Structure 1
Amino acid sequence: MTAQRARGIRRTALALLAASALLSGCGVIPGGTGGSPGPVVVMTWAPVDTNGTNKPGMLAMAQVYEKYVNARGGIGGRKLKVLTCNERDDSAAVRDCARQASDAGAVAVVGSYSERGGDFISALQTLGIPYLGGFGITEDEFQSLMSYPVNGGMPALLAGSGRQLADLCRNVTLVRPDSTTGDQYPAFLDAGLKAGGEKAAKDLPTPDDATDYTQAAATAVGDDKPSSCVSAVLGDHTPTFFDSLRRTGDSAPKVRLSSVLGSVEQSVVDATGGASSPLENAYVTGWYPVSSDPKWNEMKAAVTKYAFDDDRIDVADPGEQTTWIAYTVLTKVVQAMGDKAVTPVSLQNALDHTTRLSTGGLTPELGWTDADLKGVPQYARLVDSKVTYQVIRDGRLVAARPGFIDLGTTLKSTDLS
C-alpha cells in the first residue's frame, strides 16, 4: 500500500467518524464505544400550575433518579442526564417539549404525564423518540408503536374498580371528566361491573376543573342508599367533589365511595381528615402495591437522600411511582444493551425485544414483544392488565386483597363501540 493511499484511507475514516458524531448530536455517539461514552439523555414532562391535574412530583422524581443512578456509577458506566419540561396541559406546549427533547439529543421521554395524547404521540413519532412509562391517562399511549406503557392505564383501573364494586353495590354512579379522555371511562367501569354480574353504572360527566361540585354530588347521591356506590375519577379535583359530597345533607352520605389511585391517594385522605375523612372505608383501585409495602423502600431511600426537603414529591402518589418504575425499566434495558450505542432507534429496538423484565414486584413482569401484548381492543400496546385492590381504613390506604388481580379477560371483552 502506498503512503498516499494510506493517508487517503485515514482521511476517509476520520470523515466517517466526524459524520457519525454530527449525526448523534454530540462529540461521541451517546452510549457508544471508544473514548468516554456520552450521557444517556432523556426527558420527563408533566403539567405544573394548571387548572387541571398537576404532576410536579413526577418531574422531581425524575431528578431524584438522575442523582440516585449517577451516584451508583450511572447506567452501565454512562451518566444519565434528565431534562424536564412543563407541558402545561397544552397542545402547543407538549409539542414544544418534544422538540426540546429532540434538540437536546434525548433518546426517550420517560415516566411522564400528559392528557394531550394525540399531540405528543404524533410529535414523538415524527421525531422518532420512544415514550417509555407514561402515566396511562390517554388512549394514544396504548396505540402507538413508539409507546411502552408500564401499567394498565385508566382501562385497568376502571375495569378493576367496576369488578371490585360489583361485589359491594347494587347501583353505581360514575362521576368522570366531561372530556374526550373521560368519554372512555364508562365502558371500562361497566366491563368490570358486568364481569361481576352487575348492571352498567349511571354516567355523570362533569368538568374536571370546577371549584364546586354541589349539584353533581347531589345527583350522584340520589336517594342515598347504603347499597349504592359513587365512584369519582376527576384527577386533582376529586377531593373537591368529595368535599361537595360531604356537604350534600345534614349527615354523612350513606352511599359507598370509591375511586382510583391518581384521583385519590394517601395525601388526599390526610388532607380531608385522616381517620375522620369522608373517604374512610372508600375502595380504591391501583396499579401498584400500597405505599407502605417494603418493595418501595429503595425509592423512599433515594428520595430521603436526594430530595428530603422537596415538597413536590409524594412517595404514595402513583405519578411519582410510575416515574420511578419507568426509570428502573430504562436502566435495566440500557444495561442489557452493553456497549451498543444508545440512540432512539437502538433503544426502541431493545424495548421491542424486552420480555419478562422484573421491577422487583412493583409491577408484574413487563415486556413489549408480541407475546406480551394483551389483545385489548383499541389498546393494542397494553401489556399489564393487573391491578391492586385497596381500601381506606383508620385513615390509611391498605391492601383490601393481597397481590395483583388480573383483569385481562375483562378488558378484552370491553365494548368500546
Structure 2
Amino acid sequence: MTGRRRTRTTSPVHPRPARTRLLSAAALAACASVAVGCGVVPGVMGGSGDDTIKVMTWAPQDTAATNKPGMPAMAQAYARWVNAHGGIKGHKLDVLTCNDHNDTVGAAQCARRAAKENVVAVVGSYSQHGRSFLAPLEAAGIPYIGGYGVTDDEFTSPLSYPVNGGAPALLAGLGEQLGKKCGPVSLIRPDTVAGDQLPVLLDAGLKREHHPAAADQRAAEDATEYAGQAKQALDRATANPQSTGCVVTALGDRTDTFMDSFRRSRTDYRKVGTGTVLGSIDQSRIDASGGKSGPYEGAYVTGWYPVASDPLWDPMRKVIKEQAFGDNRIDPADAGVQTTWIAYNVFKKVVEALGGDVTSNAIRQTLDNGLKVTTDGLTPPLSWRFEDLIAAVDFPRLVNANVTFQVVRGGQLVSALDGFQDESKTLESADQH
C-alpha cells in the first residue's frame, strides 16, 4: 500500500446485477425523454453539414501514469485515409480528440464536449474513469464503440459496445495460462479502483487450473521504482525450492519501471517466471529493454488479438504508412492502436449498413438489432444482441471473451498456442468469487 487515499471513480467489481438494472433503466428513461432525444436530432449528421460524420476519440496524454497518445493519433490517421478514399458512403469523417488527463474531471469534460459537439459516437478510446464519462454519454444517447476495456463500467453500460474482453478477459486468460506453468503467483497491480478488479479476475483463471490464488501486491501507478514490491514477490516465488513461482505485473506504462527493479533484484534469487498482458508490454518495449537478453525473455503474455507480426495487421500498417509515416505516437504493436483500428472498422461497417441518416440513435439501433461485424480475423465476428452476450453477471455487455496466449521467445513476442482461447466460462465463474 502507498498510504495515499484513493478516490473511487469506477465501481468495484461486486456487486453488479442491481447497478446494471438501474443503469439500464436510467438509459431507457433518458431515451424516452423528448428533451434528451438520445443523441442528435433525427436527420442531422454529427458534424458541420449533412456530408460530415463527427465522432470523438479520447485517451490520456502527457501524464505521470499510463498514456495512450497513439489511439487519438490512429483515429485521425484513419479519418485521413477514409476521406482520401471517398469517405464512408460519401460522408466525410471528422474525428475530434480529447485528453482525459487520467482523472475523473478530465474524463467527464471529454464526454460533455462530445455531447456539446453533437458527435454520433465515441470510438476507440481509453479512460480509467468509466463512471465519469459514461453518465454524460448515456444522458446524450451517444454510443461508446470499442473502448479499451480498462474499467468494468464499460461492460455494464447499455450504450457501450466493446470489441474485446478488456482487462477481465486478459487477466482471466493469463491466470489460466500461468496455472499450467507456475508455482506461487504474485500480482503487482495499480493501487487504484480500476486495479482492484484484477486479483479477482486473475484468480478466476488460476482456479480453473486448480491453482491457489495469487498474492495481491498493490503499487503506486506513478512510482519511479518498485524495489520493495520486486523483493517481496521474489521472496514468495522462491520460498518453496520444489516449485518455480511466477511474478505477474499489470502496471500499464509503469511495467517497464517495475521490470527494471525486478531485474536488479533477482540477481540474488534463482530464476522465476514472469507474466503480463498486452497493454503492459508490446514488441517495441521488448526491443527497447534488450530483446532476448532483457527482463521479458520467457514471459507469458495474454493478448486480445493476433501477434503484431501477423499478416492480418497488414491493412492497418498500410494505412499508417500512407497517412502517418513518421508519426512516432503510432506504434502498430500497441494494443491501444490496434483496438482503435478495429473500433473504427466496426464503426465504418455500421455506417455502411444504415439505410438512412447517420445519427447516434440509428447507430445504436443497428447495433442493438443484431448487425454482425467481421474484423478480417482480428477478432471473432462481433454482434451485440442480447443473445450474443456471455453469461457473466458482472460483465453483461461483454460479447468477445476471446484471448490469445503468447510468449517472449528469442526476444520476439510469438504465439504460444494457435488461435483464440475463449474465457467466457472463466469469467462466468469469476462472478462466484
After TM superposition, is the score higher than 0.5?
A: yes
Instruction: Report the counterpart of residue 53 of structure 1 in structure 2.
Output: 66
Per-residue CA distance 1:313-369 (angstroms, 9 max, x = gap): 11000000000000000000110003x111111111111123431100001110100
Instruction: Report whether the alignment pairs 1:94 with 2:107.
Output: yes
The separation in 1 between residues aligned to 2:371 and 2:141, in whole angstroms, is 22
Checking the alignment, whether the CA contact within 8 Å between 2:185 and 2:237 is kept in structure 1 is no
Instruction: Report the counterpart of residue 402 of structure 1 in structure 2.
Output: 418
Q: Which residue of 122, 127, 143 corresponds with 1:114?
A: 127
Per-residue CA distance 1:50-81 (angstroms, 9 max, x = gap): 11100000010001110111122111111111
Give 1:25 deviation, angstroms: 7.6
Residue 221 of structure 1 aligns to a residue whose secondary structure is helix
Give 1:208 deviation, angstroms: 1.1
Cα distance change of structure 1 residues 378 and 310 upon mapping to structure 2, 3 Å threshold: same
The CA RMSD over aligned residues, in Å, is 1.8
Instruction: Report the counterpart of residue 180 of structure 1 in structure 2.
Output: 193
* 136-145 or 89-98, larger mean C-alpha shift: 89-98
Instruction: Report the counterpart of residue 184 of structure 2 in structure 1.
Output: 171
Residue 250 of structure 1 aligns to a residue whose secondary structure is helix
Q: TM-score normalized by structure 2? A: 0.87
Give 1:120 deviation, angstroms: 0.3
Instruction: Report whether the alignment pairs 1:139 with 2:152.
Output: yes
Give 1:274 deviation, angstroms: 1.0
Identity of aligned residues (%): 51
The separation in 2 between residues aligned to 1:416 and 1:45, in whole angstroms, is 34
Listed as ranges, the matches of 1:18-417 within 5 Å are 29-30=44-45, 37-222=50-235, 224-225=237-238, 227-250=244-267, 254-338=271-355, 340-415=356-431
Give 1:94 deviation, angstroms: 1.6
Cα distance change of structure 1 residues 150 and 249 upon mapping to structure 2, 3 Å threshold: closer
Q: Which runs of 4 or more aligned residues in structure 1 lie more than 3 Å from their structure 2 counterparts after TM superposition?
A: 23-26, 223-226, 249-253
* 244-253 or 155-164, larger mean C-alpha shift: 244-253
Task: List runs of 5+ in structure 1 lacking aligned partners.
Answer: 1-22
Checking the alignment, whether the CA contact within 8 Å between 2:237 and 2:247 is kept in structure 1 is no
Per-residue CA distance 1:153-190 (angstroms, 9 max, x = gap): 10100000000001101211111111111111111111
The separation in 1 between residues aligned to 2:41 and 2:198, in whole angstroms, is 42
The separation in 1 between residues aligned to 2:269 and 2:347, in whole angstroms, is 46
The separation in 2 between residues aligned to 1:29 and 1:412, in whole angstroms, is 41
Give 1:295 deviation, angstroms: 0.5
Q: Aligned AA for 1:130?
A: P
The separation in 1 between residues aligned to 2:41 and 2:426, in whole angstroms, is 46
Residue 430 of structure 2 aligns to a residue whose secondary structure is coil
The separation in 2 between residues aligned to 1:108 and 1:207, in whole angstroms, is 33
The separation in 1 between residues aligned to 2:405 and 2:270, in whole angstroms, is 23
The separation in 2 between residues aligned to 1:416 and 1:85, in whole angstroms, is 38
Cα distance change of structure 1 residues 350 and 121 upon mapping to structure 2, 3 Å threshold: same
Residue 230 of structure 1 aligns to a residue whose secondary structure is strand
Q: Aligned AA for 2:342?
A: I
Residue 145 of structure 1 aligns to a residue whose secondary structure is coil
Checking the alignment, whether the CA contact within 8 Å between 1:283 and 1:390 is kept in structure 2 is yes
Instruction: Report the counterpart of residue 15 of structure 2 in structure 1.
Output: none
Instruction: Report the counterpart of residue 5 of structure 1 in structure 2.
Output: none
Checking the alignment, whether the CA contact within 8 Å between 2:307 and 2:414 is kept in structure 1 is yes
Residue 65 of structure 2 aligns to a residue whose secondary structure is coil
The separation in 2 between residues aligned to 1:367 and 1:288, in whole angstroms, is 17
Residue 247 of structure 1 aligns to a residue whose secondary structure is helix
Q: Aligned AA for 2:289?
A: T
Residue 345 of structure 1 aligns to a residue whose secondary structure is helix
Q: Aligned AA for 1:61?
A: M
Q: Aligned AA for 1:127?
A: A
Give 1:38 deviation, angstroms: 2.5
Cα distance change of structure 1 residues 355 and 192 upon mapping to structure 2, 3 Å threshold: farther
Length, aligned pairs only: 390
Per-residue CA distance 1:107-145 (angstroms, 9 max, x = gap): 010000000111001111112211000000001100000
Instruction: Report the counterpart of residue 16 of structure 1 in structure 2.
Output: none
Give 1:223 deviation, angstroms: 5.1
Per-residue CA distance 1:266-321 (angstroms, 9 max, x = gap): 11111111111111010100000000111100000000111111000110000000
Residue 192 of structure 1 aligns to a residue whose secondary structure is helix
Q: Aligned AA for 1:321?
A: Q
Checking the alignment, whether the CA contact within 8 Å between 1:158 and 1:189 is kept in structure 2 is yes
Cα distance change of structure 1 residues 215 and 106 upon mapping to structure 2, 3 Å threshold: same
